[in-house]
Amino acid sequence: MTGLIARIILRYVAGALIARGLLAPADGDWLNGDPDLMEAVTAGVGFAIMAGTEIAYRIAKRFGWKT
């Protein structure tokens, strides 16, 4: 599932960079198709999910909510 999310994030990043004129349209295809970059973004998405879960757990513990 994180691979799918990472691919969507890369597509939006590439689109934003192309729209701003910072990236050529041909380079956008490279950004979406690079497996090494995809692996790095997937790891980042996984880390963000893990961090968000941990933060939510700590907030719930602090306020006495069910955990």
pLDDT digits (tens, 9 = 90+) for 15-49: 888 788 877 877 777 766 777 777 777 777 778 88
Cα 53 to Cα 35: distance, rounded to the nearest angstrom: 27
Q: How many domains does the chain have?
A: 1
43 close to 5: Cβ distance less than 8 angstroms: no
Range of the domain at 15: 2-63
Whether the per-residue pLDDT at 66 is higher than 70: the answer is yes
The pLDDT confidence band at residue 55, using thresholds 50, 70 and 90, is very high
Whether the per-residue pLDDT at 59 is higher than 90: the answer is yes
